[in-house]
């Protein structure tokens, strides 16, 4: 099946710092999504990307859909304590795997005040 490699696995940063995480795959995806998950809760959608090369922002978050369609990154600027959580990338490839989402392993973000 399709695999997404997400890095880094964890990050420990100071409040106010910028953060970057990324996902790569050997397969092409048509859609990239970034979710945040707090402990004991469901993934919450942050940003959705639909076109290769697309750069989209949502407040302090910026994500890009790689031009090869095999990667995506998420940046968080000026981090705050409530940014703490696990961030997952997810890809969708309608041609090869229908509408299912394939998730990365997650990036655990810790923000020290």
The answer to whether 72 touches 32, Cβ cutoff 8 Å, is yes
Pick out residues in 55-94 that bind another protein (CB under 8 A). Answer: 88, 90, 92, 94
- The least CB distance from residue 47 to another protein, in Å, is 10
* Cβ-based nearer residue to another protein, 65 or 88: 88
Residue from the set 8, 18, 20, 44 that interacts with another protein by CB under 8 A: 44
If one asks whether residue 105 binds another protein (CB under 8 A), the answer comes out as yes
If one asks whether residue 32 binds another protein (CB under 8 A), the answer comes out as no
If one asks whether residue 51 binds another protein (CB under 8 A), the answer comes out as no
30, 59, 86, 107 from 11: Cα distances, Å: 28, 21, 10, 7
Q: What would you report as the CA-atom Rg of the chain, rounded to the nearest whole angstrom?
A: 14
- The least CB distance from residue 40 to another protein, in Å, is 8
Strands 61-65 and 71-76, sheet pairing: antiparallel
24, 64, 81, 113 from 6: Cα distances, Å: 7, 14, 22, 25
| Residues that bind another protein in the complex, under the rule CB under 8 A | 30-31, 33, 35, 40-45, 48, 50, 88, 90, 92, 94, 97-106
């Amino acid at each position: 099946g399709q695999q997404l490699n997400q890095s880094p696995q964890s990050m420990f940063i100071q409040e106010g710092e910028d953060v970057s995480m990324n996902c790569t795959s050997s397969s092409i995806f048509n859609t990239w999504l970034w979710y945040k998950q707090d402990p004991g809760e469901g993934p919450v959608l942050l940003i959705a990307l639909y076109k290769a090369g697309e750069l989209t922002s949502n407040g302090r978050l910026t994500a890009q859909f790689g031009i090869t369609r095999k990667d995506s990154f998420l940046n968080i600027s000026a981090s705050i304590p409530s940014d703490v959580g696990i961030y997952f990338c997810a890809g969708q490839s309608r041609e090869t795997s229908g509408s299912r989402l394939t998730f990365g392993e997650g990036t655990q973000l810790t923000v020290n005040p």
